Amino acid sequence: MKTQIHPTYYNDAKITCACGNSLVAGSTKKKIHTETCSACHPFFTGKQKLIDTSGVLDRFKKRAQKTAVLKTKKTTKKSKT
């Protein structure tokens, strides 16, 4: 087996959530930042929380709006001819 190919393993890696919760676990990274954890995730807490970090919902709404406009244009063209 080759030596020096495995990453360094940290037994005391600090994991920090956006809600402020932090814990210590083993990882190949010394510090890890997450957006959700078991303290704030809706599955574990039972509270509904909208998480839209990359604007996925906004992009979907824009696409839906464009589609609706195109459908109305097609129907008006068909009714004119």
Q: In the block, which residue shows the tokens 């954890």?
A: 37
What's phi and psi for 51, nearest 5 deg? -115, 110
For residue 55, give the 3-state DSSP assignment: coil
- For residues 39-66, give the mean pLDDT: 76
> What residue spans define the domains of the chain?
1-49, 51-81
Report pTM: 0.50
Q: Which fold has domain 1-49?
A: Rhinovirus 14, subunit 4 (4.10.80)
**Over 90: is that where the pLDDT of 51 sits?**
no
- For residues 45-53, give the mean pLDDT: 66
pLDDT at position 59: 84
pLDDT at position 10: 95
Give the tens place of pLDDT for each residue, 26-46: 999 999 999 888 888 777 777
DSSP code per residue over 25-41: EEESSSEEEES--TTT-
